[in-house]
Structure 1
Amino acid sequence: MGDKTATQWWELLPAGVRQQVDGYVLQDAHMQAIRVVLAAGRARGLGLTDAQYVVAERYDHHGDAIARTPDSPLDLESLAARAAGLHGRVVAVEAVWDGDTFHDWFVVLLAITADPDAEHPLATIYWGTAVRHLGDTGNRGTRHPSAAAADQAGRALADHLCVPFHFASPDTPDDEAPRRRS
């Protein structure tokens, strides 16, 4: 992190910007908070990595006061209800990797429909979501927890719907892995 600490960068931001950033952090709006810090600090030399550290420090500062975004439900009943409410006939369930600087790697569970052809996100499975879903005794082997939870929930849903399940890269995060073909 450049020549300044996250605390020093924070103190250089105007009071109104700091208040806005804390508001976003308390709403668990991580990316918006980073965008505000970056925009306000860029002229002073603050870069993206510095902005991320500033926001991470604000998350640490506020701790349990943050209204965390709820986990996506991964139980079969919830996933089946979401799939049943989609427009179109579900023809497959697919798990795909994605990632960002805040969550690292995560898996998105999709329902693939025909008539109309579309893909519908059913659940976003972050590390913490996966660990809570799998529990302490979750059998994941050497897999990333998000992959293990997506594989478990996706297969159960696909079996329930009598459609194929596709997860091109369950053992290695890869957001460019081949997608399901019709």
Structure 2
Amino acid sequence: MAGLTTSEWWGLLPEGIRGEVDGYVLQDRRLQAARIVWETCRGRGLGLHEAEGVVHERYLHHGDRIARTPLSPLDLESLAARASGCPGPVVAIEAIWDGDTVHDWFVILLAVSTGPAGRYELATIHRETAVRHLGDVRAEEARRPEATAAEAAGRALAEHLAVPFHFASPDAPDDGAPRRRS
């Protein structure tokens, strides 16, 4: 059965499975949808890459009906409002890399607070968020638009709050980069 098109693989799925996959797609849960397609058809020769292709076609089919996860705001006013909600004084703004199989690499912008000590998430910056914030042209020029957007927004917020900004690895994804010491 190798060599089938995504439409042919879709047609091989039972109606109940197709409904389940479309349910996950409409909830913007790409990984769960691909897992169902792959688990159902892998015995027939469907690879994970092909399962992702089937799900991609369902995303194209449903288009604007998909309940997309909202993008984090990166404007100074929104970030400052979020930082003001921290339970203690903000002593720094930090950007760190993270990643998963759905979004690839992304940057999390954090407020570092004391009393109680902790890190509080202000924004998650995926590529799509970065492109929206930077604009298409500037995002295309950036090697890692996620890092460029995080650095710009984080520095602006840190300056606004008169606290230091820390981003240990702005040039390359590294979820093990040194963190700011509190």
State the TM-score, normalized to the length of structure 2: 0.85
Q: Give me the whole-angstrom Cα distance separating, in 2, the residues matched to 1:62 and 1:139.
A: 27
CA distance in 1, matches of 2:117, 2:19: 44
Code of the residue aligned with 1:17 in structure 2: it is: I
Contact 1:111–1:121 (CA<8 Å) still a contact in 2?
A: yes
Q: CA deviation at 1:149?
A: 0.6
Matching residue of 1:73 = 73
Residues 1:31 and 2:31 aligned together: yes
Distance change (3 Å), C-alpha of 1:92 and 1:17: same
Letter in 2 for 1:16: G
- Structure 1 residue 6: Cα displacement: 3.2
Give 1:74 shift.
0.3
Deviation of 1:46 after TM superposition, in Å, equals 4.4
Offset at residue 35 of structure 1 (A): 3.7
Point out where structure 1 has 5 or more consecutive residues left out of the alignment: none
Alignment deviations for residues 118-166 of structure 1 (CA, whole Å, 9 cap, x no partner): 2221111111211111124548854311111100100111111222111
Q: Structure 1 residue 178: deviation in Å?
A: 1.7
Local SS of the residue matching 1:121? strand
- Percentage of identical aligned residues: 65
The residue aligned with 2:89 is: 89
Equivalent residue number for residue 18 of structure 2: 18
What code does the residue aligned with 1:27 have? Answer: Q
Counterpart of 1:172 in structure 2 is 172
The count of aligned residue pairs is 181
1:28-177 mapped onto 2 (5 Å cutoff): 28-42=28-42, 44=44, 46-136=46-136, 138=138, 142-177=142-177
Supply the AA of the counterpart residue of 2:175: D
- Which deviates further from its counterpart, 138-147 or 61-70? 138-147
In structure 2, distance between residues paired with 1:87 and 1:35 = 39
Following the alignment from structure 1 to structure 2, what is the Cα–Cα distance between the partners of residues 48 and 163? 46
CA 1:69/1:139 → structure 2, altered by over 3 Å: closer, same or farther? closer
CA 121–34 in structure 1, closer or farther in 2 if over 3 Å, else same: farther
Q: Give structure 2 stretches of 5+ with no counterpart.
A: none
Q: Between 36-45 and 8-17, report the one with greater CA deviation.
A: 36-45
